[in-house]
């Protein structure tokens, strides 16, 4: 147990260093800390599970890592490529969650889809189109990536919320939290690039990023217990 706690402590220690390095633009420290985040949290996942590791988790972590490293090397040059590599695991995760949702729908009544859920869905789409209208996008490829990226996150938010409403298990709580922090992290990553570079955007982006990976791994750790 102490070993597992140590891995979590190491992760959040590295995360604090990474956030500080990002805010104060200490590039050497950032180059050392950010590449260590995903490997450490993946080792935590490996230590916690008692079954064969999921290939989906490994694949998604590798894609997250590539996306993060492209941004680290040069956010200016590899901005679109970074979003593309983050988009792939989001789409695969969406497909996975939709399958889980379909299974749950067969067990529960649709009456759970009440007015508040419909309002939430409308607000999410309104937020998406409001954010897109704030951005100045002239490149066709970038526009396509941003639209697909944003809509994927919107659908992830909707499905994760519905899964939680149908079954408020710990794993679904962690997935909902992971998606929320994914949205916050990526939203302010794009704001920082397309609207204005400031400390608040950077802080929200980096904090949400490191917390999202922890929530993401906790979801798969809890799901592995049911396998």
* pLDDT tens-place string over residues 196-219: 889 999 999 999 999 999 999 999
Spatial contact of 127 and 153, defined as CB atoms under 8 Å apart: no
Rounded to whole angstroms, how far apart are CA atoms 124 and 77?
30
Examine residue 91 and state whether it is found in any structural domain, yes or no: yes
- What's the pLDDT score for residue 110? 57
Q: Where are the alpha helices (DSSP H) in 114-169?
A: 115-134, 140-166
pLDDT at 1: 46
Instruction: Judge if pTM exceeds 0.85.
Output: yes
143, part of any domain: yes
**CA–CA dist 188, 174 (Å, integer):** 21
Which residues of the chain have a pLDDT value below 50? 1
CB atoms within 10 A of CB 20: 14
* 4, part of any domain: no
Domain membership flag for residue 93: yes
- The answer to whether position 24 is within a domain reads no
Has residue 171 been placed in a domain? Answer: yes
Counting Cβ atoms within 10 Å, is residue 188 exposed (0-12), middle (13-18) or buried (19+)? buried
Q: Is 148 inside any structural domain?
A: yes
Structural domain boundaries, residue 126: 55-224
- Residue 42, judged by CB atoms within 10 A of its CB (0-12, 13-18, 19+), counts as buried
Confirm whether 130 is domain-assigned: yes
Counting the structural domains of the chain, the total is 1
Cβ atoms 86, 67 nearer than 8 A: yes
């Amino acid at each position: 147990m102490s070993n597992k706690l140590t891995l979590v402590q190491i992760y959040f220690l590295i995360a604090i260093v990474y956030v500080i390095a990002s805010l104060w633009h200490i590039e050497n420290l950032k180059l050392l800390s950010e590449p260590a985040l995903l490997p450490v949290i993946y080792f935590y996942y490996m230590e916690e599970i008692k079954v064969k590791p999921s290939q989906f988790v490994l694949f998604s972590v590798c894609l997250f890592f590539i996306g993060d490293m492209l941004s680290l090397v040069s956010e200016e040059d590899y901005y679109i490529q970074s979003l593309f590599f983050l988009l792939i695991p989001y789409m695969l995760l969406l497909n996975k969650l939709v399958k889980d949702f379909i299974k749950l729908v067969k067990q529960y009544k649709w009456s759970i889809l009440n007015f508040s859920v419909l309002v939430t869905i409308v607000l999410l789409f309104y937020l998406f189109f409001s954010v897109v209208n704030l951005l100045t996008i002239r490149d066709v490829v970038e526009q396509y990536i941003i639209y697909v990226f944003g809509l994927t996150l919107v659908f992830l938010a909707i499905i994760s919320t519905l899964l939680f409403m149908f079954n408020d298990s710990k794993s679904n709580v962690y997935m909902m939290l992971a998606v929320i922090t994914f949205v916050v992290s990526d939203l302010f990553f794009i704001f920082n690039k397309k609207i204005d570079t400031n400390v608040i955007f950077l802080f929200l982006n980096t904090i949400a990023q490191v917390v999202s990976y922890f929530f993401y791994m906790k979801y798969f750790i809890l799901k592995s217990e049911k396998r």
